[in-house]
């Protein structure tokens, strides 16, 4: 992987993190710091899964389970 490809991938991941945090905040209100840390620590597969789950989740636990 080239440096440019790595930087683009990191940018996409950070964008997904920020989007997920915004979505979680809109749906569930103010987020505990531990939830924000969990989202930031998520890998690309987890982030995709969580981003999909928010559409049907009733609780934060449902999203991040």
Q: Which domain holds residue 56?
A: 3-64
- The confidence score (pLDDT) of residue 62 equals 96
What does the pLDDT look like over 5-52, one tens digit per residue? 776 777 777 889 999 999 999 999 999 999 999 999 999 899 999 999
Domain count, the chain: 1
- The confidence score (pLDDT) of residue 5 equals 79
Over residues 52-59, the mean pLDDT reads: 96
Distance, CA of 52 to chain centre:
10
């Amino acid at each position: 992987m080239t440096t440019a490809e790595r930087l683009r991938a990191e940018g996409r991941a950070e964008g997904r993190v920020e989007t997920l945090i915004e979505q979680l905040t809109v749906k569930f209100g103010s987020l505990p710091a531990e939830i924000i840390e969990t989202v930031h620590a998520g890998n690309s597969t987890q982030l995709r899964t969580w981003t999909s789950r928010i559409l049907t989740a009733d609780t934060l636990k449902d999203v991040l389970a």
